[in-house]
Structure 1
């Protein structure tokens, strides 16, 4: 399940209930718990888990390196299991990592670890759709009914543009408890086909008339994935590989759907207890089929940075389609932050005084934020392997500080 609103995502009662239920179910099944809170807390800090740093070329410490080191250090000092940061500033890139990729074995987090990137997947999906628009194989004004006849009720009033910018009003299938039922029963590998989950959403009344409001819904991006398959006559995964992953040589980016495994070295994902310490490894708790074209990709921060830079600098889309993608919609998406907006699969944030485009990626047990300036010269990526709905107030504060202040290159 993926959901992206503010940085970090605000907890939802629905997800909170499911997380608690998954914790109980996993414990009953005999899942291995992480070390005790005391032992885990003692493993943090620069002495036990110093931040490791990589940069594009040997160089003396510079502002970006200091910023990346400080960001991951403050997150692990707040007892988040592990953290990775990437900072790019005018051609120079540095990554830093701290804490643990695997709490049980105390394997250190590294900047080359693979992790689930959640709704950063939506940017890939939107890019493929807009490539098809540029090729005149579909239009932003095409309706779902024309492209996928009979798949949803009222499809003749929902456009591709409304799917991309979350103004369709379609019910989010992951709000329906049935979508999580197999996993609560302990069947972690249960596979949902995209059409099954769209059909589940279709049993509910739309939230509002298309085009009248903004409401984030993974149903939109499942439909976009199905549209890609219908128009190209290839699978969604084949089109991702052909159009983005292979040309950009994203060797660490994959779409696992029928396996719970992540390519090695893999980041493990955790629920935290009330004190904010890792209490349950949930890396393999839910099939990625529940997120598909909305959030199932696994990658590294370096691959994600390469993709975002290529997109924002026009290497993947013509100017007209990139302009559409980076045009924030007419509706406020976060009353607490009026500068925040949503384009066509891209979220707009003001970070470090600069307008940046990208996405937040929240998938059970992992949070990854990736943002790039419009000219591609600045990038900020921050990831941690703890579910945001289980963070303490102090951890939330540490994340906000790291994401919005510490990573700023001075």
Structure 2
């Protein structure tokens, strides 16, 4: 079956145009960053690194990085936000944040743990008895660190057939797990690590069940408001709020195709549907990684690491998984955060454990191990350079 690129009359296999382009459905492979000489960390050196990335074969049309150190902000960008107009990327431009939205579901869940509404050892059987009995022993902790064993709904034939037929299909976000309700767990809960989009759907459903409040409102009350996020939302449809960073499919043949509004966000919801801006994501990761939303006891639990658990795509340096957060150990030090990729976008948000220094790194094409392993290695190397600039505090 072919998926038509109607804007230019081209086509490509559906497995590429939907599975790889929409939901980052592949399991994360720990691609290692390429070794390179120690780079300059000033603005000129970082600018060159971004320009080289944009000009690389299959590189993103645009990149914007926001580095924040205390009250000082540096914005480094290359390429364009929109190929038609040539407009430059801006920190207030909207974008799809992909799987970094999983950190938001973690923020909601851990805030409810702090409030006493949820416990990390609460099970699906206790909180969501309507889900399959075979899943009942899975705990909130295992959902948040991707050791649950839940089958990934976004890989199910039923889900994909609907998406192939109509990329703008309006899914019932609260019934996404129905696509795999007839399947057993992939492994005993807690026995291994496997990144799954189902995990964060279940987290949001647990949060709704214990509060009687819709997940979108919980995001507003527990995350957006405390951290001052004014341009962040969880839409159901496919339209992007203006202005926005246009996301592109840069795979051959050229020219790139705008895929910013390719799919409905109802099919990814709490697992990857949030729209935000580089400025808002900077505020979010500083507060989230820095533990501003809950107390030190919850922060300690969040930072119990599953060694080698990588985000998707893998972040810079060595990756270890916590509760809806990852530890990235680079050659220059440690930052905490999350990555994500979806149609037209690849994201990294990271901050020091105290939240004082942060990096938001956004590209306008999808870069991952399954499709573009060489470009991913290059991206991770550039991201590590930016982390080093952040941690070394060079002017």
Work out whether the TM-score is over 0.5: yes
- Equivalent position SS for 1:154: helix
Alpha-carbon separation, structure 1, partners of 2:285 and 2:80: 26
Relative to the length of structure 1, the TM-score reads 0.80
- Equivalent position SS for 1:306: helix
Relative to the length of structure 2, the TM-score reads 0.83
Alpha-carbon separation, structure 2, partners of 1:63 and 1:136: 44
Q: Cα offset for 1:90?
A: 4.2
The number of equivalent residue pairs is 355
Q: Cα offset for 1:280?
A: 2.1
Q: Deviations over 1:306-356 (max 9, x none)?
A: 111112333211111111112212x53259999421000001111352111
Alignment of 1:295-306 (within 5 A): 295-306=272-283
Q: Structure 1 residues 236, 67: CA separation in 2 closer, same or farther (over 3 Å shift)?
A: farther
Alignment of 1:215-226 (within 5 A): 215-226=194-205
Alpha-carbon separation, structure 2, partners of 1:162 and 1:190: 30
Q: Deviations over 1:243-273 (max 9, x none)?
A: 111232211111111x211211112221122
Instruction: Determine if contact 1:128/1:239 at 8 Å carries over to the other structure.
Output: yes
Q: Structure 1 residues 334, 125: CA separation in 2 closer, same or farther (over 3 Å shift)?
A: closer
Q: Tell me the equivalent position of 2:309.
A: 333
Q: Cα offset for 1:163?
A: 0.6
Instruction: Determine if contact 2:41/2:385 at 8 Å carries over to the other structure.
Output: no
Q: Tell me the equivalent position of 1:194.
A: 173
Alpha-carbon separation, structure 2, partners of 1:131 and 1:406: 30
Q: Structure 1: which 5+ runs fail to align?
A: 1-20, 35-61
Q: Deviations over 1:146-195 (max 9, x none)?
A: 0011213323311111111111101011111322223322x232111233
Q: Tell me the equivalent position of 1:400.
A: 380
Q: Deviations over 1:127-146 (max 9, x none)?
A: 11111111111211111010
Alpha-carbon separation, structure 1, partners of 2:55 and 2:322: 35
Q: Tell me the equivalent position of 1:70.
A: 48
- Equivalent position SS for 1:348: strand
Q: Tell me the equivalent position of 1:15.
A: none
Q: Tell me the equivalent position of 1:133.
A: 113
Q: Structure 1 residues 310, 116: CA separation in 2 closer, same or farther (over 3 Å shift)?
A: same
- The answer on 1:211 being equivalent to 2:185 is no
Q: What RMSD over aligned residues (CA atoms) do the two structures have, in Å?
A: 2.5
Q: Tell me the equivalent position of 2:257.
A: 280
Deviates more, 1:128-137 or 1:107-116: 107-116
Q: Tell me the equivalent position of 2:249.
A: 271
Q: Cα offset for 1:230?
A: 0.9
Q: Structure 2: which 5+ runs fail to align?
A: 11-39
- Equivalent position SS for 1:127: helix
- The answer on 1:361 being equivalent to 2:340 is yes
Q: Tell me the equivalent position of 1:251.
A: 230
Q: Structure 1 residues 322, 393: CA separation in 2 closer, same or farther (over 3 Å shift)?
A: closer
Alignment of 1:7-406 (within 5 A): 24-27=2-5, 30-32=6-8, 63=41, 65-66=43-44, 68-78=46-56, 79-185=59-165, 187-257=166-236, 259-274=237-252, 277-329=254-306, 331-333=307-309, 339-389=318-368, 392=372, 395-406=375-386
